[in-house]
Amino acid sequence: MAVKRVVAFVYPTASLSISELLSGPYLLNIPLFQRPYSWGREQAEQLLDDLLEAAGISSDDAAEPAYFLGAVVLMDAPGAETVKLSPKMTAREFGVIDGQQRLVTLMILLAVLRDLETDPKKVVSKRVQSMLIAQLGTRFFRTERFRLHLSTRERAVFEDNVLLPGSSVLPANVASPTLPEATLLEVRDRFKTVLEELTNSARAKLADFIADRCFVVVIVGNDIDRSHQMFVVLNERGRKLQRNDILKSDILARMSSGDAKWAVRMWDEMSAELGEGFEPFFAHLRTIYGHGRLQIVSGVRQVIRDAGGSEAFFKEVFLPLAKSYALIRCGGKSVLPLEMQRLLTYLNRLPEADWAPAAIFALKDWKRDPARAHFLLSEIERLAMLTRFLCAGSGKRVRRFADLIKVIRTGEPIDRTHPVLQLTRDEMRGIAFHLKDFHKRNPKVCKLLLLRLGDELSGTMDAVDPDLYTIEHVLPQRPAASSPWRQLFPSTEERGQFVESLGNLVLITQQENDRARNASWDDKKQIYSKGSSQAPMLAITRDVIDEREWRQGQIEAREERLVGLIDRIWRTDILGQKSGSRTVKAPEESEAASPVV
């Protein structure tokens, strides 16, 4: 019997002083996916105060033998396998996954200490210079590089106004600095102000303390996923690397430097435009290309491979689909035709976005064939609503849209008769059954249904916030024992049947609802008619105000009218089923049947 061998992954780890970390083999880079420098003056001053106290400079106490500055997580160079951290390692580049803010702040502090030195021997200056600038190559072919490279956003400001000898105490030469650049310069200037008040010997003592007695635990991972995992474990208060950060690193690492700079700019622009939707976008992207069963990062990596590599993926997949998703999230305002904007408004109101991957792909090239894009979007909205009327679970909805995406991706002709757009007669029976008491089954979508039906009644879309409204039962759910409603509907069973009917539902504000509750029909009409200062009256509510009384006949007639609208909007045949049968069977009681167009 073969024995499976289990190999444990070991993170190379070492406790290093700051002078050891900023020397020898460690050439540090801030990856492009990291946030910019963001420590403000308050955090930097706190660090300086702590160091002055620990070094015995701001108090009469002796200096501490060691001062721990936390963990620093590095990512090894691609292809490198570090087994043990050693000063004898070959010099190579490491990505800083965690510890960027502390390292940059410490280097600003060291640079100011270097540039304020007045001792003619320049002991501090020489030592600090050896930490901030790495010497590479052999004795005869010596080259230099800054020990730490920031990302492209503020790298030049950091190097020209901090790392270059003498630059940290000169006025900044930066026109219109960005917020990270201004923050970096503010910290630099604050350090200069505080440290100028110290004696030269005190500054030398602080520099030596930082170099020799301040320690970090350095942990090295050899891929982004393990490094990210370690970052999350060690630094719960830090900003977690999101999936898009990991994917950004994957993509940019495989692009030429020129393309990478352009890609970073475009990536950041799409991230800003999509906002909170940027992270979910990658889940949608994975689903579009049929990798929904994989984890998001693994699924998108497979999409990258299928596209032919990072550059092709970025230009042909990421950018057009991200722009399409941005169009969806803004409702297509000022871009799409009005009817398509209307459809997106209805879709964006839904509580779950299982429809989004299909819509993203349908609108990817909408300008080439606006009619096809409009048709697809209307069918996506239809399926999104019908599957919710059917009370289908999210898994079933995702699978149905995945089938539609496959058809869309082929580019084949598609019309209303296409099999992928059909629901079976059994599903239609299920919809009819669930709509009898849809408010009890799905209150959120029931509210959206009433809004949509009101738009159909008025012929225009009410551009309102659905959250401003609540569902009101005209015939109350629990009328008092002495209520006139019990005289009109004496049977408990009959009352229960009509209470949840679509014909008995309107939309009003919570304030109006609190007043209406168990009021009589005449009183309710006055409350509805008066309206609310918080939100306008909707057509779905205006629809009942002209009724002189509210009895069984009014509820049944209104229900038939609203169900007729549902049949017309979403191509159902609920009224036909009702006319052919006195009662609608529950789905589990209905036999399988052929599809319905």
Assess if residue 551 is contained within a domain.
yes
Contact in structure between 466 and 448 (CB atoms under 8 Å): yes
One domain for residues 407 and 346: yes
Amino acid identity, position 541: T
Assess if residue 125 is contained within a domain.
yes
Q: How far is CA 174 from CA 156, 158, 161, in A?
A: 10, 11, 9
One domain for residues 59 and 201: yes
User: Which residues contact residue 391 at a Cβ distance below 8 angstroms, ignoring those fewer than 6 apart?
Assistant: 430, 434, 441, 442
Assess if residue 220 is contained within a domain.
yes
State which of 387, 420, 453 marks the end of a domain.
Answer: 420
One domain for residues 396 and 443: no
Which parts of 166-242 fold into alpha helices (H)?
179-195, 200-213, 224-234
By three-state DSSP, how is residue 472 classified? strand
One domain for residues 273 and 399: yes
Choice among 207-211, 239-243, 515-519, 561-565 with the minimum mean pLDDT? 239-243
pLDDT tens-digit map of 114-129:
999 998 889 999 999 9
Domain count for the chain: 3
Confidence of residue 93 (pLDDT cuts 50, 70, 90): confident
**What does the pLDDT average to over 322-330?**
97
**What does the pLDDT average to over 2-9?**
45
Mean pLDDT score of the chain, rounded to an integer?
87
State which of 168, 199, 234 marks the end of a domain.
Answer: 234
DSSP structural state of residue 421: G
Q: How far is CA 73 from CA 68, 132, 220, 241, 361, in A?
A: 15, 19, 6, 13, 39
Percent of the chain with pLDDT over 70: 89
Per the document, the length of the chain is 597
Confidence of residue 174 (pLDDT cuts 50, 70, 90): confident
Confidence of residue 239 (pLDDT cuts 50, 70, 90): very low
**What does the pLDDT average to over 96-119?**
93
One domain for residues 192 and 44: yes
Confidence of residue 18 (pLDDT cuts 50, 70, 90): very high
Contact in structure between 597 and 424 (CB atoms under 8 Å): no
pLDDT tens-digit map of 160-170:
999 999 999 99
State which of 184, 211, 234 marks the end of a domain.
Answer: 234
Q: How far is CA 548 from CA 106, 302, 513, 553, in A?
A: 79, 64, 20, 12
One domain for residues 476 and 361: no
One domain for residues 225 and 369: no
One domain for residues 90 and 200: yes
One domain for residues 444 and 372: no
Query: Among residues 8, 200, 195, 44, which one has the least CA distance to residue 118?
Result: 200
From its phi and psi, is residue 538 left (phi > 0), alpha (psi between -120 and 50) or beta? beta
> DSSP string covering 104-129, please?
HHHHHHHHHHHHH---TT-HHHHHHH
Assess if residue 528 is contained within a domain.
yes
Q: Which domain covers residue 121, as residue numbers?
A: 13-234
Assess if residue 426 is contained within a domain.
no
**What does the pLDDT average to over 207-231?**
78
Query: Among residues 105, 43, 32, 118, which one has the least CA distance to residue 72?
Result: 105
Assess if residue 392 is contained within a domain.
yes
**What does the pLDDT average to over 439-462?**
93
Confidence of residue 80 (pLDDT cuts 50, 70, 90): low
pLDDT tens-digit map of 56-78:
897 777 888 899 998 898 888 66
One domain for residues 17 and 165: yes
- Res 5 pLDDT > 70: no
Assess if residue 32 is contained within a domain.
yes
Choice among 78-87, 347-356, 407-416, 471-480 with the minimum mean pLDDT? 78-87
Assess if residue 488 is contained within a domain.
yes
- Sign, CA dihedral 218-219-223-225, equals negative
One domain for residues 354 and 409: yes
Task: Give pTM, 2 decimals.
Answer: 0.65
One domain for residues 377 and 513: no
User: Which residues contact residue 298 at a Cβ distance below 8 angstroms, ignoring those fewer than 6 apart?
Assistant: 291
User: Which residues contact residue 396 at a Cβ distance below 8 angstroms, ignoring those fewer than 6 apart?
Assistant: 387
Confidence of residue 377 (pLDDT cuts 50, 70, 90): very high
